[in-house]
């Protein structure tokens, strides 16, 4: 069983939703936690709430779609805590429009936050986790937040692409990181009670003042409407956080939150298998 006490976790998107619940779960398990977020007021409130419980936590503001800001956050974490054992690349935003609706700006924003921040997070924090393992004999683990949209497509193409990317990236890291004593899990939540539908509140000026209009009759629009109807009564982020810590302890490759999309995932893999069956006698 993993001993979290005294170890250090870095969590992005940590001021609300799943990120805050994961940071809280780490703190309750005795870990020291650096919360990273782009929203100052929300981060300040999250830190105040955790510090009121005597948790050993701190916070750093960062736009994780900018590599330099992730590096600065890593430097701040090392200055404050001296090591890092757990990385949770959790920050994420909703996607843009579907075919004939999307813009370069929404692709850039979605890819930057949902995918590149995960890649850069591993690139920057991976060596720090290795260093802690060598110096202190500590175990380490990386959790990358994807989505069920990383296992079965639906809705926004840019969102799907980034989440499939996070799944593939995490799967590919399992073996090489295991050789370094670091576990890797990919978290694929279903509909969780968060503010992801309000992602545009954090849209940065370089991406424009607003996202493109999405037709409610397009595939992206239909899925957005489904999400808007489902998320308010969705899974508790606290439950997701419990699963994340259990997944770290068990070194789960995939951390799933519910069975809602299980049939859709089965159908996807059945279709892939059918593709093999069609050409099985041609070799």
Known catalytic residues? 159
Nearest CA to 43 out of 15, 6, 77 is that of 15
Q: How many CB atoms lie within 10 A of CB 268?
A: 14
Tell me whether residue 283 is exposed, middle or buried, using C-beta atoms within 10 angstroms of its C-beta: 0 to 12, 13 to 18, 19 or more: exposed
User: 23: how many CB neighbours lie within 10 A of its CB?
Assistant: 32
Nearest to 130 by CA among 73, 75, 179, 77: 179
What spatial distance separates the first Cα and last Cα of the chain, rounded to whole Å?
A: 47
Q: Which two tokens stand for residue 74?
A: 């890593």
CA proximity to 39, closest of 70, 60, 18, 23: 60
Are 73 and 45 in contact by the 8 Å Cβ rule? The answer is: no
Burial code (b: 16+ CB inside 10 Å, e: under 16) for 229-244 equals eebeebbebeebbebb
Using CA atoms, how far residue 208 sits from 108, 117, 200, 212, 216, in Å, is: 11, 20, 11, 10, 22
* Strands 182-188, 86-89: pairing kind: unpaired
H/E stretch holding 19:
helix 17-28
């Amino acid at each position: 069983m993993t001993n979290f006490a005294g170890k250090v976790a870095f969590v992005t998107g940590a001021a609300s939703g799943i990120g805050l619940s994961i940071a809280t779960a780490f703190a309750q398990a005795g870990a020291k936690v650096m919360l990273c977020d782009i929203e100052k007021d929300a981060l300040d409130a999250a830190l105040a709430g955790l510090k009121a419980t005597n948790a050993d936590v701190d916070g750093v503001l960062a736009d994780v779609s900018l590599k330099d800001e992730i590096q600065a956050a890593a430097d701040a974490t090392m200055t404050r805590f001296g090591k890092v054992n757990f990385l949770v690349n959790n920050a994420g935003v909703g996607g843009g429009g579907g075919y004939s609706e999307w813009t370069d700006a929404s692709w850039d924003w979605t890819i930057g936050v949902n995918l590149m921040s995960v890649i850069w997070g591993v690139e920057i924090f991976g060596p720090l986790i290795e260093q802690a393992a060598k110096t202190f004999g500590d175990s380490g683990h990386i959790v990358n937040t994807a989505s069920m949209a990383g296992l079965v497509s639906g809705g926004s193409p840019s969102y799907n692409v980034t989440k499939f990317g996070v799944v593939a990236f995490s799967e590919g890291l399992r073996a090489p990181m295991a050789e370094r004593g670091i576990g890797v899990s990919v978290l694929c939540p279903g509909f969780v009670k968060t503010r992801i539908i309000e992602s545009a509140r954090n849209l940065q000026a370089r991406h424009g003042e607003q996202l493109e209009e999405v037709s409610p009759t397009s595939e992206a629009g239909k899925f957005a409407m489904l999400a808007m109807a489902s998320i308010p009564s969705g899974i508790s982020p606290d439950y997701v956080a419990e699963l994340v810590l259990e997944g770290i302890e068990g070194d789960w490759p995939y951390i799933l939150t519910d069975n809602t999309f299980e049939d859709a995932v089965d159908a996807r893999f059945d279709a892939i298998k059918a593709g093999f069956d069609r050409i099985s006698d041609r070799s």
